[in-house]
């Protein structure tokens, strides 16, 4: 259904509701003939269409303008004043045409007999509807702003994470070439073997650096290969101990984290045959720990700041779990969390169902449409019956207003949900909220 068609349908529903309310306020359904009732209903529909459609166009005009965040009060004031002016002008034109064409009055006679009291009911109805529209509009704006904020946060985090990952490629290559340079001077034969192994290691770097997480088993295997490169240079000056596999095959860590920690251990400690560097990798309380004996170098080259800082920042973007650093007199250890992704939203799989999502959504929409029509018919059957009962029992307390207004508001909201796809309670609202929640969860990247 087009937007114009939806607006016409909404004005028709509002016209029906206003007809019931206006008729009751003017003395009840005491029509002498059916023709009189039809004429009265037609007049209410005409008024509802002219006033409702003009105000909808005005509201759409305001919605298309670029309002600042601080313009909310200004937006409400302009909306209320504009709706009031449009309503008064519309009522004046309709009343003037009715007086001139139906009652054959002159324009001066019409102006002489005109009173502001004739406009109160129309203004009351219009301003009530405008208030509802403003509530829906600002709720929609709030939701859109939330989604935009989440997109900005996600984009910033993603860009920062990519920048951190891109540091690893040149960083690893630079340090590996430094090791190769040292080997060429000290042991050319080992340098040849190092070059061959380096190509295999560097392939892993290129394959894994664009991933957010890799399995612990993959990282352990890479760490073993990388340590074989270091042992080509330092030989028995490094003693290395690590498990073959993780206790949980699904556990994951950020890629190249072990390589960076091993590199830091070698860079900042003395590695000699007299004082060998002992490096151990083991699991402890859900963390993967890299530990080495502490024997700091007297002169340490200026650090690039990529290693440990890079690991900590990448974990901060992925999880609330922290990287722990423990430095003692003769021991240095870093514990990195082993993560398992939690699925916040799981889509149910119906193996026996051949229905597509589009069919299911269409079926649900048809059911909602049928439900709305049933409610509409019931409303116009039940409410007049309740009014009749109230009138013939005790008219002193007009209790029929409570079910009529309560049910009427619910009917308007139900119609809005069915026919206004992008509204605050449109038929795509649930789908949008689920997608928004999934986006927020993905942006947070929560891992346990």
Give pLDDT tens digits for 213-262. 889 999 898 888 888 877 877 778 899 899 989 999 889 998 878 888 88
Question: Could you identify the residue written with the tokens 């910033």?
Answer: 156
Express as a percent the part of the chain with pLDDT over 90: 9
pLDDT of res. 168: 47
Of the candidates 298, 305, 229, the one whose C-alpha atom is nearest the C-alpha of residue 264 is 305
Longest C-alpha distance within the chain, in Å? 118
pLDDT of res. 147: 66
Identify the architecture of domain 162-337 in CATH.
2-Layer Sandwich (3.30)
Beta bridge partners of 238: 277
pLDDT of res. 410: 78
Of the candidates 253, 288, 290, 255, the one whose C-alpha atom is nearest the C-alpha of residue 269 is 290
Q: Is residue 49 a contact partner of residue 91, using CB atoms and an 8 Å limit?
A: no
Give pLDDT tens digits for 26-56. 777 777 788 888 888 888 888 888 888 888 8
Q: Is residue 289 a contact partner of residue 251, using CB atoms and an 8 Å limit?
A: no
Decide if pLDDT at 283 tops 90: yes
Q: What DSSP element (H or E) covers 403?
A: helix 401-419
Express as a percent the part of the chain with pLDDT over 70: 74
Give pLDDT tens digits for 98-144. 888 888 888 888 898 888 888 887 788 777 777 777 777 777 776 66
DSSP 8-state assignment for residue 341: B
Q: Is residue 440 a contact partner of residue 150, using CB atoms and an 8 Å limit?
A: yes
Whole-number Å distance between alpha carbons of 362 and 345: 22
pLDDT band at 282 (very low <50, low <70, confident <90, very high): very high
Q: Which residues contact 328 (CB under 8 A, 6 or more apart)?
A: 294
Whole-number Å distance between alpha carbons of 101 and 144: 48
The torsion region of residue 445 among left (phi > 0), alpha (psi -120 to 50) and beta comes to left
Of the candidates 331, 316, 170, the one whose C-alpha atom is nearest the C-alpha of residue 256 is 170
Please compute the mean of the pLDDT values over residues 424-443 and round it to a whole number: 57
The torsion region of residue 115 among left (phi > 0), alpha (psi -120 to 50) and beta comes to beta
pLDDT band at 422 (very low <50, low <70, confident <90, very high): very low
């Amino acid at each position: 259904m087009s937007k114009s068609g939806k607006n016409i349908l909404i004005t028709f529903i509002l016209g029906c509701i206003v007809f019931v309310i206006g008729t009751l306020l003017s003395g009840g359904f005491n029509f002498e003939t059916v023709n009189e009732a039809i004429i009265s209903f037609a007049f209410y529909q005409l008024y509802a269409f002219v006033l409702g459609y003009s105000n909808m166009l005005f509201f759409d005009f305001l919605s298309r303008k670029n309002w600042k965040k601080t313009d909310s009060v200004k937006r409400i004031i302009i909306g209320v004043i504009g709706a009031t002016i449009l309503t008064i002008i519309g009522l004046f034109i309709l009343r003037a045409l009715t007086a001139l064409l139906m009652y054959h009055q002159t324009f001066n006679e019409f102006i002489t007999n005109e009173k502001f009291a004739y406009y109160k009911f129309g203004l009351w109805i219009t301003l009530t509807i405008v208030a509802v529209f403003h509530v829906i509009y600002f709720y929609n704006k709030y939701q859109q702003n939330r989604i935009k904020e989440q997109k900005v946060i996600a984009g910033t985090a993603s860009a920062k994470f990519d920048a951190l990952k891109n540091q690893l490629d040149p960083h690893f290559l630079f340090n590996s070439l430094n090791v190769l340079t040292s080997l060429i001077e000290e042991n050319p034969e080992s340098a040849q073997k190092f070059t061959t192994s380096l190509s295999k290691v560097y392939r892993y770097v290129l394959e894994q650096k664009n991933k957010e997480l890799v399995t612990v088993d993959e990282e352990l295997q890479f760490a073993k290969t990388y340590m074989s490169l270091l042992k080509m240079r330092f030989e028995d000056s490094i003693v290395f101990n690590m498990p073959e596999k993780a206790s949980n095959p699904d556990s994951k860590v950020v890629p190249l984290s072990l390589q960076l920690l091993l590199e830091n251990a070698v860079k900042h400690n003395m590695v000699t045959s007299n004082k060998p560097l002992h490096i151990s990798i083991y699991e402890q309380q859900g963390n993967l720990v890299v530990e080495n004996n502490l024997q700091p170098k007297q002169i340490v080259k200026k650090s690039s700041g990529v290693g440990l800082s890079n690991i900590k920042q990448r974990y901060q973007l992925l999880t609330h779990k922290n990287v722990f650093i423990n430095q003692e007199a003769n021991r240095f250890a870093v514990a990195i969390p082993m993560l398992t992704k939690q699925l916040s939203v799981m889509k149910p799989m119906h193996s026996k169902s051949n229905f597509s999502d589009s069919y299911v959504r269409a079926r649900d929409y048809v059911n909602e449409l049928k439900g709305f029509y049933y409610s509409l018919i019931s409303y116009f059957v039940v409410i007049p019956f309740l009014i009749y009962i109230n009138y013939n029992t005790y008219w002193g307390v007009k209790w029929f207003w409570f079910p009529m207004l309560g049910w009427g508001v619910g009917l308007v909201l139900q119609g809005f949900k069915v026919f206004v796809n992008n509204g605050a309670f449109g038929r795509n609202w649930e789908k949008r909220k689920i997608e928004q929640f999934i986006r927020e969860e993905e942006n947070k990247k929560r891992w346990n």
